[in-house]
Amino acid sequence: MNYKEIGYYIVVIILSILILNFLTLNQIEINDKVERLDVEEIIGLLIINKILGFTLGVLVKWRLVIQYFKGNFGINLKLIPGLLIFLLSFIPSITIAKIFGLGIPFPQGPIGLNIIYAPFLHGNVQLPLSVIAGVLVTEGLYKNKV
């Protein structure tokens, strides 16, 4: 292991810790806005959370990002599900509740359309989806030029 790679690890660790701290502070702010029922502010903070989660997912694949700068940049099929999951994670739970109503996720809730939309009513599902999207989009933009 050379000093350059150690430097990369240090940068990735520091950035990850910063992102986790921003996520935590943002969640505290969201909880405060929920008590005041400030919907517009909540939506803005949730979008920031999704961007931070996506960035964390990109950091998971930091070696691929370095490969982009070495010319290994291209599009592959992983990009499509990555972008779809990214877009799904950005739909605010308030919007989903307005369109579909409140639902209880399977198996406690009824079987039907509820299985699809009820998990998206909770931010604790959307944030991991944005991290997964960051990983898939990063992989979807990698093309090995051997």
**What mean pLDDT value characterizes the chain?**
85
* Res 14 pLDDT > 70: yes
Q: What is the pLDDT of residue 18?
A: 96
Q: What is the pLDDT of residue 42?
A: 84
Orientation of helix 3-36 relative to helix 39-60, angle to 10°: 160
Residue ranges per domain, the chain? 3-140
pTM of the model: 0.84
Most confident of 106-110, 113-117, 129-133: 129-133
Residue 24 vs residues 44, 49, 90: alpha-carbon distances, Å = 15, 9, 18
* 3-class SS of residue 140: helix
Task: Tell me, rounded to whole angstroms, the distance of Cα 40 from its chain centroid.
Answer: 20
Residue range 26-55: average pLDDT?
Answer: 88
